[in-house]
Structure 1
Amino acid sequence: MQFLKIFLLLTVLGIGPYSMAQQNRQLSQNDLSKWYKFSNSGLSPDGHWVTYNRHYKKGNDTLVLVHTETEHRHEIPNGQSLQFSNNSNWASFKTPEEVNLINLKNDSIKTFNTYTDASFSASGTHFLLKNKKKHQGQFLHLESGNSLKLTNLKDVYFSKLTANAVVVLQSDPGAELQVLNLDGFQVTQKLKTTGTFRAIHWNPNGKSFTVLREEENNNSLLYVDLETGVFTLNEYELDEYSFYKGSSADFGISTDNRRVFFKAVPRVETTAALDTSQLANVQVWKASAPWTEIESPNYDWIEHGVRLMVWKPQKQEVLPVESKEQPFSLLIPKQRYALTYNTSQYLPRFKTGELIMDLNLLDLETGQRRRIVDSLPFIKNSFCGSPEGKYICYFKNKHWWIYDIKTEQHLNLTQGWEIPAYDTTYDRSGIPPPYEVPYFTKGDEAILLYDHWDIWKVSPKTGVRHKLTDGSGRNLQFRLTKRPVRQVSVYEKLNFQTQQVALDENPLLKVKNLNTYEMGISTLSETQDEIFLSYDSLKLYDLQADSSGRLCIFKQESSDHPTRLMYSNLNQKSVKTLEQSNLHEQDYYKPRSELITYWQGGHKLHGALHYPVNYDPSRSYPMIVDVYELNSRKLHDYHLPSLTFQRGSIEPIDLNLNGYFVLRPDIRYELNAFGISAVNCVGAAVDKAIETASINPKAVGLMGVSYGASEAGFILTQTDRYATAIIGNPVTDLVSHYLGYLNFILESAYFRFENHQWRFDKGFYEFPEAYLANSTVHQAAQINTPLLTWTGIKDPNIEWTQSRELYQALRRLEKEHVLLVYPEEGHGISAKVARQDLYNRHLEWFDHYLKGMPKQDWMD
């Protein structure tokens, strides 16, 4: 295919005019109220209206609603929760005091100041208003104006494809459930209980629903078929289980209306009281156990977890889908089968590296279960189901395989590929993952797979393949936009992850130049070259399309250019700016960033270099190097000035405003040498930056948080070229961290080293010299750089004792070091006063060691 660029995005509010701004005002805390970012953007189903919020750093947010063609707009201070009707004729939003309804056809607004919540029926013809505190509600027919008021209202559940709704009215004697036809506000069916009704789930065809009826002496699940009647499953019929009292999302009905899905929990048996007065309060930790006592809460579900069950009302049969032996499941689309597995069966994890599981296929009609895949690594994006329920696709031994449920045959889909199907950029230890979850075409006729650059169309029956894009020769990476298949027949949380695309509709593609970080959107076609609708040196994200897939919105930004909201009409091959944010920025400063390229160990790497504002090449500037893995990818991230610490770091623009360069380099890792890799790659990046701009080589500092802090701390043990460093929540002793726990997930830290971010391919006792050679505290005697460390005692990710160990080492060695300990903070800094304190100390520390400004008392 040839590269056909028919539209290069330039707008009146775009790059050109903005770059001519002058920098002439000093930014203060009071000025921050002008800056905002876009949040909660959305597109009406017909693509003619866009909504978004201006979220201000300080002050009240503003809700905006704008017409995509005329650009007529509403701006509502403190507006929130805007929703469109499915027919795109109406929209509603809330303010702290009221609910508002907008007629999008004539632009009129009606206010309801006695209600707190609102929603549209699936057809968009009815509007429900609710006051939760007063238990009142009102239905409005939006075309006729007819209404129905409700008292003692508990809940309303709309059918998605019919004009029916289930209404639950709760009063002192009990509750009444009504099936309400909205067109005439007629009650077509009633159910009553002395308790309550809850967790209603409609089958989207509108012909049936489930409801959990809770009463004092018995709970029961009702399946209500509007044509054939009511079926009841009493809790006592479940033997050793009780109904799980979840939400409507925990229930479902199969496409063919033959199976009802629900969750249940094992009943806890009561036993005679045990006399514990003579027993010691002791825990018995066995080295042979599959998991430790600390990890045991993660595995309580094996004995006592919630189980998925299937009930066949017409047969009055109940079948457990999940069990102690198979505690996880995913429903295959069409819900005739379920995939079940157990990620704990091969524990302890250090024996296998990754979590390993066997996949089993359960026939929900017959109850028969068969093994289909043995010893599958449980890695990201590793398996999915086809939308029509014909196939299971799984990733094993660096290849995509497909399993035909009907023929029970397996086929390797990527055998013989020139470019591997696994992520070739993966540089951690462990198994390389695949590139995202595959897509299926209509009718499961083909599956779309990725390599590093391109999209391939592959037959699930024969494996015959055809490349749909041509990115490998142009450094272009093509990816379909994520539009998951919505399984309308059962609750989404248990559906198999599956995605479907219609190739005949020329679906949208996101395109990225991996050499320059230019990004754009294009369309995919099997019959012609790709057409680029937008392609620029900007980050492109939050791409959303209307129901037709032909109208879309997206955001663009770079560190040099504030975020803008864009609209594209694919039919007209046009793109325009709906709003350019933060135009006032040019009155204060103009950011500047640059992608630098350097080489290390024969590998081409990048770094993002952010310039000081009002940069004067005749001057020499200090530079701060921000370290964390592949950091150049943040080149086009737009950062709002904050003049304070942002949970984990200081934004580059805040340092640029204070006269600093900021360098964000990439690190390419060698296994068993994460620290040495960081030393070499960061050093090469600094050399290139000094060649590129007017940087004082004697005034270069390091900065990092978490893993980046661990890298930066180790770099100081190998070189004295850096004038100072500030690191936050680092791992400083690889041995003690390896033998510790990750408290936020209650798991031993082994896997983080042997199969994850620390990039060792062996355990400590197999390769102790590599661990010690990359451990900061074990090399602490070689640190001669003034170092500031900060940590939060409540950090659940990296224990604060890692910072304390380094403090103890440097104190004993009589090195220049200060440790800041925040008793109430965690892995990030949350409290406003703590964030401001840490921000000020960062600047005071860097200003002293990189600019020669006076030393503050707290530093001595």
Structure 2
Amino acid sequence: MKRSHFSLLLLTVTLLLSSQLLAQDKVLNVDDYNRWSHIVGVELSNNGNWMAYGLRPNGGDDTLHVVSLVNDAQYTIPLGEDAVFSDNNNWVAYTITVDEESRKKMQQKGDQVFEKAELLNLNSGEKYTIERSADIAFSEDGKFWAVRREKPESDKSKHRGSDLILRNLETNQVHNIGNVSEFAFNKKSSMLAYLVDASDQTGNGVYLHNLSSGTLVTLDSDTASYSGLDWDDADAPRKDWNSKGNSLAVLKGQSVDTLIHNENKLLVFRNLNRNISKTILDPNSAQNFPEEMVISGNRNLSWSENGGLIFFGLDEQEPKLKMDKDTVANVDVFHWKDDRIQTVQEQQAGQDRRFTFVASFNPNSNTFARLTDEDMEELESSDHNRFMIGRDEKPYTSDLNWGVSPADLYRVNLQNGERTQFAAEIKRTMGYSPDGRYFLYQKLADQDTALFVYDVQQNKNINVSDAAPVHFNNVDHPYPHESPTYGIAGWTKDGKNVIVNHKYDLWMLALDGSKATNITQGLGEQEKTIFRYENLDEEQEYIDTSKNLLLSAFGEWTKKDGFYQMRIGRKPTPLVFEDASFDEVEKARDTDRVILTRETFVNFPDYYHTNTSFKNFTRITDANPQQAEYAWGERVLVEYENSRGVKLQGTLTLPANYEPGKKYPMIVYFYEKMSDRHHQYSMPVYDDRPHMSTYASNGYLVLMPDNVFEFGKPGTSSLDCITSATQKVIDLGYADPEKIGLQGHSWGGYQSSFILTQTDMFATVVTGAPPTNLTGFYNNIYGRTGTNHHGIMEIGQVRMGRGVTPWTHREIYQRENPMFYVPEIETPFMILHGTDDGAVDWMQGLEFYNAARRMGKEVVLLSYPGEGHHLGREANQIDFQIRMKQWFDHYVKEVPAADWMVNGIPYIEKMYNKARN
């Protein structure tokens, strides 16, 4: 009997649907991670018609995509990166790198690796390529493209100069300029300045190329070294470009064989568009120039906003010492009077060698002023032409300055260096108004904090928060030191107010202290929605309160995200506010087109374009279409309380194909507050953490709970919060109470190690880079910075409390110390630690392992030689991902143990030692 056409169609559809369902049920594992890609290097053209982005696959090479947002045009450039569009939207330039495999081979052979610069005409698709590119720049008007090349590998000369290729993009004329060490267009694109550094210093100098006429002017030439080229418009806003770009500053130096630093002079060229003038600051003849000091090449030159001053660095000249190291003792003297411990000095030695004091030069009066010295080393730059703020941190230098650097604040006169102290022991500052007249800072007063504005012109402090019925310090800040504010939104265009953030709302504070207004009218507090001002115009210096304001919005308890619009005097109204996370918001400079990412646990943060109304979204990228083939989970929010009645949340990832009422195995992954990651996409990447997407695909629940702390109780607080959250998920019927694993890394590693010793709620624990002995950890060194752990222990992340030490509060340290409870461990556990960990010393992990081994506990230490606080080598990352999954599968899901879990791996059987290079 023949089948009907309908039956055949039905069979075909059934088979198709079945194959699709099977495809969607593929289980995600580490072997699949190389199919996932990141989006990197996103750029938007000024007219909003083009977008460039790179796709970077896990463990693979970038591919650059240049796509039209108005039609179907697109270009794909393998190995392309660092795209930049021309100002006139006609061109895009980028570099082309060498693939990673070839790069490794070349580096192993000692060959130099070069990159190409490529220019793409967006209208015609025509390309121009330049080999051995070092620096790339468009003129601001988009009419010229310049590429400075690397010297060929065969050129072993020591001079810094190399070829500069200048292309006129309107005429296609190409000009090759030799021996260029630095170059820069002025912002109005009328001139190109460059420095020549040639062999034997022949032709060295400062040159000016007129881009309209093509004429070349030699501003200065000598057998000297030139550096630090800086236009007076380098940092100027676009509105000032036409009035600037007519002055240059540069250093001219002579090297002396017996001295470390070049003997530099400062050259200032002005009126470059008409009658050029040159002014020289020569330390040998300048009045009041400090003896034994030089103009430093370690600090960039910069101009005051009005072009009246040039700022530069001062350095102490030092003789070159010629000594045989074999005759000199190699000793570090750790002294109790050191302001910084020797290990800190060692880590900061390079920074200290490059440190310079700040000075100013007035070319009109030919006068010099020293602005910083040993008594006040830091100057916070601004656009004010007369005064800036200096900082003196020395009176408060301490090992306990974790997260804060207290300082006395000074007003510094830029013309003569005169300074006036206006505030003492200020821990937190919030910066200048755009014109530099006002400086906002936080001050501790009467056991509370207040916001003060300092008027640099009037030398006057004003308490601008006194009129507000609220305090602006973040009361939820989780560390036992002075809490910060919630931040600043900006300064109003009328020059009369500053807008600052409160927990939910925005407040406008009058600069004379007379008034405080909740401009979001309490809607944030009412709906527990966090409003923040969103500036999409990078040229906008002030907030124009006469116009509609764009606000980002985040629901504290709903986790909804989006944007609101507000007019001062009215309540904010939503534009888009939904169960997703929006990020990477950027508006085209010349139109209202906006690009942004939209992300959920299920949806990779692909890019969309819309406009400033945020009404219609058009998808641009589809970075990971292969995800549709895999079983994927989803997320729900869980609310719970700890034993103190504190309301908390967790985000719970449900396994793929979740069946309500069924109890599942679960992994608990935590750190501090995790519920705000509810809409975070779980990107499969090579690293050292459990990925929720992978475990959900493999039938696990993954709980990420919030965690809050009582000071002095870091371990017991986390035990309370994490077990409360876990029990809540059990009570809700999601989790099988006999099949729950726990994982934490770093600070989470300490907490997971402590919890391990206190409860048998978890079937197993995996702890990564864990501080495990608080008494020993207190005096350990943070390897990356050289600091000891006193600050992080007392007022930082461990939160013991200021002055709470192992000697003054021994019982607290013992109570919170995992090492003291090793005999109580009843749970099998695994430790991850890299031997070169720069945050938590490897010995902490080894000590915990040794103690547990001595007590006969079921423990494995995965030690990765040469690795830091997080695994960096891809092979190691993959290895740990596999072993961690095998560990959880065995102890949580009761899958048979892998051989290494049962028998270990003898050192001589280690595969790495057998592998060939």
Q: TM-score scaled to structure 2, two decimals? A: 0.84
> How much has 1:545 moved relative to structure 2?
1.9
What corresponds to 2:681 in structure 1? 638
Which amino acid in the other structure matches residue 184 of structure 1?
S
8 Å CA contact 2:467–2:516 kept in 1: the answer is no
1:689 aligns with 2:729: yes
Number of aligned residue pairs: 821
> What does residue range 405-420 of structure 1 map to in structure 2 within 5 Å?
405-415=456-466, 417-420=468-471
What corresponds to 2:280 in structure 1? 232
> What does residue range 541-690 of structure 1 map to in structure 2 within 5 Å?
541-547=583-589, 550-570=592-612, 573-600=615-642, 601-617=644-660, 619-642=662-685, 645-646=686-687, 648-690=688-730
- 1:822 and 1:299 mapped to 2: Cα distance? 27
- 2:625 and 2:402 mapped to 1: Cα distance? 54
> How much has 1:525 moved relative to structure 2?
2.5
8 Å CA contact 1:484–1:500 kept in 2: the answer is no
Find 1:445's aligned residue among 477, 496, 506: 496
What corresponds to 2:359 in structure 1? 309
1:364 aligns with 2:414: yes
Q: What per-residue deviation string (whole Å, max 9, x for no partner) do you get for residues 200-219 of structure 1? A: 00011101011122334643
Which amino acid in the other structure matches residue 836 of structure 2?
K
What corresponds to 1:735 in structure 2? 775
What corresponds to 1:112 in structure 2? 129
Q: What per-residue deviation string (whole Å, max 9, x for no partner) do you get for residues 377-431 of structure 1? A: 1x4xx23111112211101122211111222221212225344311122122211
- 1:789 and 1:254 mapped to 2: Cα distance? 55
Compared with structure 1, are the counterparts of its residues 821 and 34 closer, same or farther at alpha carbon in structure 2 (3 Å cutoff)? closer
- 2:31 and 2:348 mapped to 1: Cα distance? 51
Per mean C-alpha deviation after superposition, the further-off stretch among 702-711 and 68-77 is: 68-77
- 1:275 and 1:169 mapped to 2: Cα distance? 37
8 Å CA contact 2:781–2:788 kept in 1: the answer is yes
- 1:207 and 1:507 mapped to 2: Cα distance? 37
Compared with structure 1, are the counterparts of its residues 736 and 463 closer, same or farther at alpha carbon in structure 2 (3 Å cutoff)? farther
1:138 aligns with 2:186: no
What corresponds to 1:264 in structure 2? 314
- 2:149 and 2:96 mapped to 1: Cα distance? 14
SS at match of 2:605: strand
1:243 aligns with 2:295: yes
8 Å CA contact 1:388–1:443 kept in 2: the answer is no
What corresponds to 1:340 in structure 2? 390
What corresponds to 1:761 in structure 2? 801
> How much has 1:78 moved relative to structure 2?
2.2
Compared with structure 1, are the counterparts of its residues 770 and 416 closer, same or farther at alpha carbon in structure 2 (3 Å cutoff)? farther
- 2:570 and 2:83 mapped to 1: Cα distance? 39
Compared with structure 1, are the counterparts of its residues 281 and 153 closer, same or farther at alpha carbon in structure 2 (3 Å cutoff)? closer
> How much has 1:789 moved relative to structure 2?
0.8
What corresponds to 2:142 in structure 1? 124
8 Å CA contact 1:260–1:311 kept in 2: the answer is yes
Compared with structure 1, are the counterparts of its residues 713 and 67 closer, same or farther at alpha carbon in structure 2 (3 Å cutoff)? same
- 2:180 and 2:740 mapped to 1: Cα distance? 65
Which amino acid in the other structure matches residue 584 of structure 1?
Q
What corresponds to 2:101 in structure 1? none
Q: What per-residue deviation string (whole Å, max 9, x for no partner) do you get for residues 77-111 of structure 1? A: 2222211122333322333475443344x344332
> How much has 1:131 moved relative to structure 2?
3.0
Per mean C-alpha deviation after superposition, the further-off stretch among 78-87 and 348-357 is: 348-357
8 Å CA contact 2:684–2:693 kept in 1: the answer is yes
What corresponds to 1:181 in structure 2? 210
SS at match of 1:309: strand
Which amino acid in the other structure matches residue 226 of structure 2?
F
Q: Pick 1 or 2: higher relative contact order, CA cutoff 8 A, min separation 6.
A: 1
Q: What per-residue deviation string (whole Å, max 9, x for no partner) do you get for residues 40-88 of structure 1? A: 1122223232221122125443222223333533232222221112233
Q: Structure 2, unaligned stretches of length 5 or more?
A: 1-19, 98-114, 153-161, 234-243, 257-262, 903-917
- 1:170 and 1:280 mapped to 2: Cα distance? 39
What corresponds to 1:752 in structure 2? 792
> How much has 1:439 moved relative to structure 2?
1.1
> How much has 1:733 moved relative to structure 2?
1.0
What corresponds to 2:3 in structure 1? none
> What does residue range 490-501 of structure 1 map to in structure 2 within 5 Å?
500-501=542-543
Per mean C-alpha deviation after superposition, the further-off stretch among 476-485 and 759-768 is: 476-485
1:814 aligns with 2:865: no
- 2:613 and 2:729 mapped to 1: Cα distance? 44
- 2:858 and 2:60 mapped to 1: Cα distance? 42
Per mean C-alpha deviation after superposition, the further-off stretch among 752-761 and 578-587 is: 578-587
What corresponds to 2:194 in structure 1? 167
What corresponds to 1:424 in structure 2? 475
What corresponds to 2:437 in structure 1? 390
> What does residue range 21-40 of structure 1 map to in structure 2 within 5 Å?
23-27=24-28, 31-40=32-41
Find 1:375's aligned residue among 425, 432, 449: 425
- 2:131 and 2:404 mapped to 1: Cα distance? 55
> How much has 1:635 moved relative to structure 2?
1.9
8 Å CA contact 1:421–1:435 kept in 2: the answer is yes
Q: What per-residue deviation string (whole Å, max 9, x for no partner) do you get for residues 620-666 of structure 1? A: 42111112111222222212324xx51x3132222223322111111
> How much has 1:726 moved relative to structure 2?
0.6
Compared with structure 1, are the counterparts of its residues 437 and 718 closer, same or farther at alpha carbon in structure 2 (3 Å cutoff)? same
Which amino acid in the other structure matches residue 292 of structure 1?
I
Instruction: Give the root-mean-square deviation of aligned CA atoms.
Output: 3.0
- 1:114 and 1:269 mapped to 2: Cα distance? 41
Find 2:343's aligned residue among 294, 303, 309: 294
What corresponds to 1:492 in structure 2? none
> How much has 1:527 moved relative to structure 2?
5.3
Compared with structure 1, are the counterparts of its residues 36 and 832 closer, same or farther at alpha carbon in structure 2 (3 Å cutoff)? closer
1:518 aligns with 2:560: yes
- 1:549 and 1:775 mapped to 2: Cα distance? 58
SS at match of 1:295: helix
Q: What per-residue deviation string (whole Å, max 9, x for no partner) do you get for residues 503-554 of structure 1? A: 3453432211111111112334225543433322112111112225833211
> How much has 1:255 moved relative to structure 2?
2.0
> How much has 1:306 moved relative to structure 2?
1.6
- 1:627 and 1:59 mapped to 2: Cα distance? 30
1:480 aligns with 2:520: no
- 2:51 and 2:783 mapped to 1: Cα distance? 42
Compared with structure 1, are the counterparts of its residues 216 and 744 closer, same or farther at alpha carbon in structure 2 (3 Å cutoff)? closer
Compared with structure 1, are the counterparts of its residues 591 and 101 closer, same or farther at alpha carbon in structure 2 (3 Å cutoff)? same
What corresponds to 1:462 in structure 2? 513
- 2:660 and 2:729 mapped to 1: Cα distance? 13
> How much has 1:272 moved relative to structure 2?
12
Q: TM-score scaled to structure 1, two decimals? A: 0.89
What corresponds to 1:495 in structure 2? none
- 2:787 and 2:796 mapped to 1: Cα distance? 14
- 2:366 and 2:721 mapped to 1: Cα distance? 66
SS at match of 2:900: helix
Q: What per-residue deviation string (whole Å, max 9, x for no partner) do you get for residues 756-806 of structure 1? A: 111122422333222221110012222111111121111111111111221
Which amino acid in the other structure matches residue 245 of structure 2?
G
- 2:322 and 2:255 mapped to 1: Cα distance? 26
**Identity rate of aligned residues, in percent?**
24
- 1:521 and 1:630 mapped to 2: Cα distance? 23
Compared with structure 1, are the counterparts of its residues 298 and 154 closer, same or farther at alpha carbon in structure 2 (3 Å cutoff)? closer
1:211 aligns with 2:259: no
- 2:96 and 2:729 mapped to 1: Cα distance? 50
Compared with structure 1, are the counterparts of its residues 400 and 737 closer, same or farther at alpha carbon in structure 2 (3 Å cutoff)? same
> How much has 1:31 moved relative to structure 2?
4.5
Which amino acid in the other structure matches residue 370 of structure 2?
P
> How much has 1:457 moved relative to structure 2?
1.7
What corresponds to 2:878 in structure 1? 836
Q: What per-residue deviation string (whole Å, max 9, x for no partner) do you get for residues 128-174 of structure 1? A: 24433363333333234444333334332111134111023343324
- 2:374 and 2:345 mapped to 1: Cα distance? 15
Q: What per-residue deviation string (whole Å, max 9, x for no partner) do you get for residues 806-841 of structure 1? A: 122212222221222222111011122222222222
